[in-house]
């Protein structure tokens, strides 16, 4: 796809970040981020050890207008100068999604600009095109608090699912592990930091679907058994938090690399000329996981592309960029489109 650069306002409210961004560019990228405002609700949810949907949606409602105003001001642009308005329409906490999508509808109606409803997962998937100009096709490992998937990406309307979690997402497993170990929320960075001082071989934790009687050669993930094993360990003996963190993280790395290696084989069958692995989602910021996937790519002849950490977690720049790509391909949405709690990315 080529053409004139498009300038898109993006809005993201699918979980506990209230975000707005203005992005300019054309596919395949890289694009220019003119502003990227993210207001995190971490402090509000920390006492509960996880995101409370009612608190999240109310916070979005209270601050979203101001976040959008700030994004437009920082980009030094008016609504009239935009080419379109993109907003997450799902999947996510439906109350939060409704706030962002309804706001985008109102702005689109008032300004006469097209509305682009974006799948949140597509936002993550296409971030590496915004940052690195990655060409299609590429293999995507999407790892976040709510999602864990491997997909072959051939275009904005070509997503082929190779594997997904059958229980917990990997980011969720990190957060629950942190809670078991008494570490603060959000747990992913805390477990990663503690693991740096730990012995990854201190505790023998399982690798579900990778080893044992239930091992199989699909690219699906499972983290529930790993989390349960860690909880039982903590309940039955005094454990070293650094060693437990390192042992847990090592198990996660083994699971992710094993499943990704299997997906690489399927991806090569579908796209013989493809050799890029994109890692997206909040867990992509984990340096130990990134290093392990880098070694896997070197061994398998793949090129690894990981967006900067600030664009791995939920943000509106990725939504705006997905809006650029969808609008460039001729897509747009009616103002009566509904928010979705679930919205599979694969065909």
Contact 113, 276 (CB under 8 A): no
Helix (H, G, I), strand (E, B) or coil at 138: strand
Contacts of 47 (CB under 8 A, 6+ apart): none
Handedness of CA 148, 154, 158, 160 (dihedral sign): negative
- pLDDT tens sequence for the chain (347 residues): 447 899 999 999 998 889 999 999 999 999 999 999 999 876 777 766 667 777 878 888 899 999 999 999 999 999 999 999 999 999 989 999 999 999 999 999 999 999 999 999 999 999 999 999 999 999 999 998 788 999 999 999 899 999 999 999 999 999 999 999 999 988 899 999 999 999 999 999 999 988 665 667 789 999 999 999 999 999 999 999 999 999 999 999 999 999 999 999 999 999 999 999 999 998 999 999 999 999 999 999 999 999 999 999 899 999 999 999 999 988 889 999 999 988 888 76
In this prediction, residue 214 carries a pLDDT of 62
Q: Quick one: pLDDT at residue 347?
A: 61
Q: What are the Cα distances from residue 93, in Å, to 51, 52, 219?
A: 10, 10, 27
Output the pLDDT for position 66.
Answer: 96
pLDDT at 181: 96
Tallying the residues shown for the chain, one arrives at 347
pLDDT of residue 215: 67
pLDDT of residue 346: 76
Query: How far, in whole angstroms, is CA 326 from its chain's centroid?
Result: 18
pTM of the model: 0.91
In terms of Cα–Cα distance, which of 36, 34, 107 is closest to 65?
107
Domains of the chain listed by start with CATH number: 6-132+311-328 (3.30.420.40), 138-307 (3.30.420.40)
Nearest alpha-carbon partner for 129 in 322, 274, 332, 294: 322
Task: State residue 254's pLDDT score.
Answer: 96
pLDDT, position 32: 98
């Amino acid at each position: 796809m080529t053409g004139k650069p498009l300038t898109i306002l993006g809005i993201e409210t699918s979980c506990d970040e209230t975000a707005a961004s203005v992005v300019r560019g054309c596919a395949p990228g890289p694009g220019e981020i003119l502003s990227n405002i993210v207001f995190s609700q971490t402090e509000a949810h920390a006492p509960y050890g996880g995101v409370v949907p009612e608190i999240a949606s109310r916070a979005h409602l209270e601050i979203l207008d101001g976040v959008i105003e700030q994004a437009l001001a920082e980009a030094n642009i008016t609504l009239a100068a935009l080419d379109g308005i993109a907003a997450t329409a799902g999947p996510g906490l439906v109350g939060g999604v409704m706030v962002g999508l309804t706001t985008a509808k109102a702005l689109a109606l008032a300004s006469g600009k097209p509305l682009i409803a974006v799948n949140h997962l597509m936002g993550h998937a296409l971030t590496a095109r915004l940052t690195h100009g990655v060409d299609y096709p590429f293999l995507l490992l999407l790892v976040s608090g709510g999602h864990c998937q491997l997909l072959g990406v051939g275009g904005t309307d070509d997503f082929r699912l190779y594997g997904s979690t059958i229980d917990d997402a990997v980011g969720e497993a990190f957060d629950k592990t942190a809670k078991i170990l008494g570490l603060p929320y959000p747990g992913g960075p805390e477990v990663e930091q503690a693991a740096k001082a730990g012995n990854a071989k201190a505790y023998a934790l399982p690798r579900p679907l990778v080893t044992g009687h239930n091992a199989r050669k699909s690219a699906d993930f499972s983290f529930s058994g790993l989390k349960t094993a860690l909880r039982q360990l903590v309940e039955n003996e005094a454990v070293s938090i650094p060693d437990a963190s390192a042992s847990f993280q090592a198990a996660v790395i083994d699971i992710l690399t094993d499943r990704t290696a299997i997906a690489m084989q399927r991806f090569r069958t579908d796209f013989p000329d493809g050799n890029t692995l994109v890692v997206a989602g909040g867990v992509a910021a984990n340096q130990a996981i990134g290093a392990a996937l880098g070694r896997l790519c070197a061994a398998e002849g793949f090129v690894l592309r990981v967006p900067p950490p600030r664009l791995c977690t939920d943000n509106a720049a990725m939504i705006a960029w997905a809006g650029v790509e969808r609008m460039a391909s001729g897509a747009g949405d009616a103002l009566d489109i509904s928010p979705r709690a679930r919205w599979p990315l694969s065909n």
